[in-house]
Amino acid sequence: MIKIIDTFDQVRSLLSGASFDLEKWKNYINSIYEDSSQFFLDDMQEMISGDYTFEKDFLPVILAVHDHPRLSELHRSFQTVTDRLNERVLNTFGRELDIEIVLYLGLCNGAGWVTALNGKNVILLGMEKILELGWEDLDSMYGLIYHELGHVYHKQYGKFEGPVNEKGAPFIWQLFTEGIAMAFEQTLVGSPDYYHQDKNGWKDWCKSNFATILSDFRSDLPTMTRTTQRYFGDWVSYQGYGDVGYYLGGRWIRFLLENHALAELVTWEYPRIEEAFLAFTRAQL
């Protein structure tokens, strides 16, 4: 069963002017999940490195929430997307998802984050990051929540942990898992060609350059690392465009769905996925 936890009404009381009371925030977050504040603080500390500091890079994003002109729009979008969401998923996929979706004020931990807290699977939606990224509109919110639910579906009903150390393998796996989430998202939206990333001609460019993206991804695999990959994330760039791996993954899974059901694909383990990737490249290039 999908449970919705909406803390929107508590957020403005946590912020005032140019001040942020961390202790007050800890009490707030611990009221949602007991003794969980350190989890968020540890994640924030991992992100603070090099030139990044809490005061310069994180605090302004958090404080901007209080008087943000699109905060109410964010909340309306969240309410629309989550209304009868459990029923929508059950009617579409014939299965329920065991997940809690939390709209909260974080410490720039992420706009959408699938994790576990106190033994519960959760999707954490950080208002401060959603506003910073400009994802408060309804279409973006559909994409954000539906995509994360796709990962939950994969984790709950299939094999979600992939290879770690083999050269190139983690990125074939990531391409597969992101493609699964894209297919889940597209199915719920009701459009096999839907991509929530499609802004400023993104989808048309990806479509026109599909063969090049696939060829470059395959060529990059032997030397690809977390810091050098250029396909996953709005902070990386492939020929001036971000998130092209989501388009590539979506096209791959659509190719596989011609002969396999999504419920079957999520059960595949890595050797079969690697074979399927090689078959996909042979068919497309």
Task: Look at residues 157, 185, 201 and tell me which one is the last residue of a structural domain.
Answer: 157
Query: Is residue 189 domain-shared with residue 259, that is, in the same domain?
Result: yes
Query: Is residue 123 domain-shared with residue 173, that is, in the same domain?
Result: no
More confident: 15 or 272: 272
Predicted local distance difference test score (pLDDT) of residue 161? 85
SS3 readout for the chain? CEEEEECHHHHHHHEECCEECHHHHHHHHHHHCCCCHHHHHHHHHHHCCCCCCHHHHHHHHHHCCCCCCCHHHHHHHHHHHHCCHHHHHHHHHCCCCCEEEEEECCCCCCCCEEEEECCEEEEEEEHHHHHHHCCCCHHHHHHHHHHHHHHHHHHHHCCCCCCCCCCCHHHHHHHHHHHHHHHHHHHHHCCCCCCCCCCCCHHHHHHHCHHHHHHHHHHHHHHCCCCCCCCCCCCCCECCECCHHHHHHHHHHHHHCCCCCHHHHCCCCHHHHHHHHHHHHHHHC
Query: Is residue 145 domain-shared with residue 8, that is, in the same domain?
Result: yes
Query: Is residue 222 domain-shared with residue 153, that is, in the same domain?
Result: no
Residue 164 within a domain: no
pLDDT tens string 103-123: 999 999 989 888 999 999 999
Predicted local distance difference test score (pLDDT) of residue 17? 65
Query: Is residue 145 domain-shared with residue 217, that is, in the same domain?
Result: no
Q: Which domain holds residue 185?
A: 169-284
pLDDT tens string 264-273: 999 999 999 9
Residue 35 within a domain: yes
Query: Is residue 19 domain-shared with residue 101, that is, in the same domain?
Result: yes
Number of independent structural domains in the chain: 2
Residue 162 within a domain: no
Query: Is residue 104 domain-shared with residue 206, that is, in the same domain?
Result: no
Residue 248 within a domain: yes
Residue 163 within a domain: no
Predicted local distance difference test score (pLDDT) of residue 18? 67
Residue 180 within a domain: yes
Task: Look at residues 105, 123, 157 and tell me which one is the last residue of a structural domain.
Answer: 157
Query: Is residue 188 domain-shared with residue 65, that is, in the same domain?
Result: no
Are residues 172 and 277 in contact, defined by beta-carbon separation less than 8 angstroms?
yes
Query: Is residue 144 domain-shared with residue 44, that is, in the same domain?
Result: yes
Query: Is residue 21 domain-shared with residue 116, that is, in the same domain?
Result: yes
Query: Is residue 12 domain-shared with residue 82, that is, in the same domain?
Result: yes
Assess whether pLDDT exceeds 80 at residue 234: no
Query: Is residue 177 domain-shared with residue 76, that is, in the same domain?
Result: no
Looking at every residue in the chain, the average pLDDT score rounds to 93
Residue 15 within a domain: yes
Task: Look at residues 157, 187, 206 and tell me which one is the last residue of a structural domain.
Answer: 157
Q: pTM of the entire structure?
A: 0.85
Predicted local distance difference test score (pLDDT) of residue 139? 86
Residue 54 within a domain: yes
